[in-house]
Structure 1
């Protein structure tokens, strides 16, 4: 018993174990210290198993024969053999019990069965054909994909099942794989034109018989795509060849363009460095006169001596003019680059222009011990037509530079004509050459091209001896270009420089020049009767300056800070003149002017003269101001002569009629709150249609007015603006012009979210709408 690997023990008829081997000990779940021998097996087994075991033992004792049976206990599969041992009298006294544990074997069989099921399920679900081919050329298994295409292969040979058209089965790849015991691959096309890629693998089935498992994938679509790809290949080769030729040509162009871009990038880098240098230089140039202005102003404020105070103020004026000159250079450059600068064509005396340039610089040249001279060739017409101010600006820049960079010697201006006109008549084209020569330090050859660029100087180091913005020559270059000429330089370092430029001008008319001079003889302040002026400007300093200039001449000034306040003032008082700043908060000067010029604006005098106060002096600005309804403009910074002359030109124009910028009304000048005749004319004279419009107005406007008030109280600006716009259109349709004008102002104020001003106008609108509703109710349908 001890040598047996199976469980074996001997028991008596009562169930007590008399002897047992080690395998039997392991079979029962014994407690620690407990042994199988002398134990009752019925006490060691579960209740159900003990009853079943007792029944089988009693059967063996009763029939005195061996009993074999299977039993499941706690998940284990056990096979028991109970052998009774009888004495000589035939009585059973002992029983030998053998037990075989088949749990692992059963589990292995179950796993094998499940694996076979999984393989079958896998083959059934494959998106391709699978079949098992045997040496007798029969197919004993085929999956669902196979059966769907070819039907059931039962009782059919491979050739019959596949409807194969091959002449010899011996050379068929599956049979060749069978014979050579080697895997084969094969593209096979059936009788219907479908192509399958087949893989033939030799193997042994569960019965030990050799077979071929064939797996096939339908590659019909792929085959067709490959065929189409082959057909397209030839066309594609031609296209690639042509495209390659095009790309080679484009590559050559791109290489050339890249070269140009690299060059442009280098120029851009150089320009960036130049601008950085310019900004650093400009900071110095602006701060220098600005420091003088601030310092001298502070000294003047603390000085009680009138002479010294005047001296300080003169220096403030000089520093201010220097600062203005720098700013003018920057603005001139910006105007020219923005194509906003247009040259004038007026008659001027070339000799006076040159002499004025010499006179301007004579003191500076004398202080440096330089000899400043000029000559105008006799072939040059004495009177020319062109822009004398810009021509003088070029000469001043060149002469100023020449004096600045010349320590000894002379500076000379020469004016000649390239080809003297044979017939000197006014309007005859003529090309004049101007040359400014000096005996200064000269310019190095490497710097001669760069100095004409914007923001560049020959010496841009921090310790440079001479100042400047670096814009002078750039502005001169652009101005000369506008004049149809070219600015050139001849220079040798240490020996001086000569700047020359040409200008395409015309022969002028001496009589026209004489008439112009007569018009400009008087420069005194014009005398004006005492007037009442409305000044609208948001800048306190500008308001103080303009107010002082006006009150010193005995005029009355009312000052406001924006267009809305100006509009309100004109509704309350009559003024002789309005000075209107263009850029102001809440409502700018242009919008305020358009509102004032509207006959239904509510102002006392819509045609009051309006003069713009503005720093905008570019091309097109004057036309924009006049189109808005302004009469004239005064450019900032304000000078006394320009200021008083502009006012003198426009005082007394109060009867001038201005067309509003909005869509013109048929009767724009009646100034009445209601214009039913125009309303009827706009509707083609149809009184019935006007009556319907009146009914809609009476029906809808009160509700819109209520909604407008609620939207305003809730700060819902979009809704308030929409309702004001609706009331404006409805009012003008029925001829309630005053209500429409006030609604337009409310719409504007809501757009800019000006709550305080809109609240006041809203009250006016409520009053006007109430009056309009009463008026329309009385005159419904009638003009």
Structure 2
């Protein structure tokens, strides 16, 4: 678009066009002429005009018809048109002209000063409109950049937080000391609260627009306050502050509202008070302002004896990313988001927040909310921890299709599903999933767990194709992905998915998802308790000593299965030696997007295995590839550093596994003859494998690898090795018979 606006003059007489051009000689605009209506319409299709000066009385096509056609074309409908006429100047003619789309009228003979004044008004409006459009586009670009930034940062924030949650859960399994367990439970509760809050904080666009979804569920405000105080209590102890709570005796046992958001408000206000209070106290008060059988008017106060604020500082405290005093950031840290979020959340719940403070005399925040009063009968069983522990956890007849291109992810899901009696079928990309479903039919599966980023056909495209198949409109499809932004979840739901499970996921979240989407089929068999703290198997201590390898967090993801974890560490050593060379080859061939996708997948694998340093390097390299800086000095340095770190990690793993004393192997001479099933109960993983073999499922190869990792040096190993050889020849029935004889697995 040119920087100089254009004016189109349409008149069948050249003398009139010349007169108008002369009258507008002081205007900063390009004058374009047309001698008839047809030429004028053709010109407007090729160029943009700030104003059209249109004669009414012209041969073949008069000005009224030209204006009608301009109004009917979306490209020109908003362009202002001034009719210039001598003959058609009656009130009726003017009304007719306005109806056809004219903006103004000028009578001939033309008053040059009036024409000039009107033209300048319309040019000014045009320039203002262009400036607004440019600002709007810039805002949209900034929004897209922000969304992309937040989407990338979300992974970096969630990774350490998931480690906190996972490690605390693992430590709880190994601790019998009551005080330690109390501390660990508080760590776990705080981590879960922070994780839930971060999931929404990352999408600042939603918060700023007031579009954050709020729940309305029964909850105990007393417990919410207690949980918030337990989270920040140690900070008060460290600073020697008294931390108190005073709760109105009239407070109902259960209220209807969003406990997470109310706890978020409390935590932000309490942290703010603790940050700016060096001596004295911080107190939380919950008061009832009014109450009836249906609703309660609440006053939540957080007051401290801290440094206080001046009136000018109070005026700025609710602005996002702004501290009351710039020196605060240097001394106390923080983003300046906390109080802004409190205000938006309170107003989102139809409430309000106010503050009173004086320098040196402390600060008091008051939050007014009106919440519904709930009864015990309104509290769903899912809110009851005891009920949650009794969720159905055994689905022997469930049919689940897992779609993921990463063998490690497939193996993890296979292990978890097998623990509740499910023998899943696998697809390695979206196209395989579509082909399987098209052949099997709409009644063949109860649930699909779908990765998003995959080769050949991604999860979203696969979902669209599945929904287009006859009979597949209601089959539950769950997005299983590390993309966890609110707007990303909305995209998945809009594309036809039913639910979302963020990676890396916790075991409770995974099993809760199964409970939501699979029919109840009975209780699970007893599950063995996690191994004791000192019962690490061979190689555990050596692996834990490797720099950059967080074995505790990784084992939590593997449900404590150390044999399976070691198996995937060996796989990593075998697969990763030439990884950076592969990236270099892709970049040399101009396949930068393929290189980025490979690095993204590598980042996910090493993150699951607990290789935090490698994960951070891969994330940095992925950012460089996305920014087109792969061949910059920084990009080359990242690839060199990644290659060195991979080499060091592989060497450390090999050394640790080599130091592991051999297991007490079962004598092959005394083992069962080939083809004979070992004595004792069949392992659950082998039972699941038999179902896959019976269906000639392509996921059988992955399942056999998982069984071998789980059952090394056992009587099952030679049978599994022989079965793998048959599967490699696509003789699934022969493999099944090796493991189970001729009997079918129902």
Q: TM-score range by the shorter chain?
A: 0.3 to 0.5
TM-score, normalising length: structure 2:
0.42
For the pair shown, the structure with the greater C-alpha radius of gyration is: 1
Flag the structure with higher strand content: 1
TM-score, normalising length: structure 1:
0.40
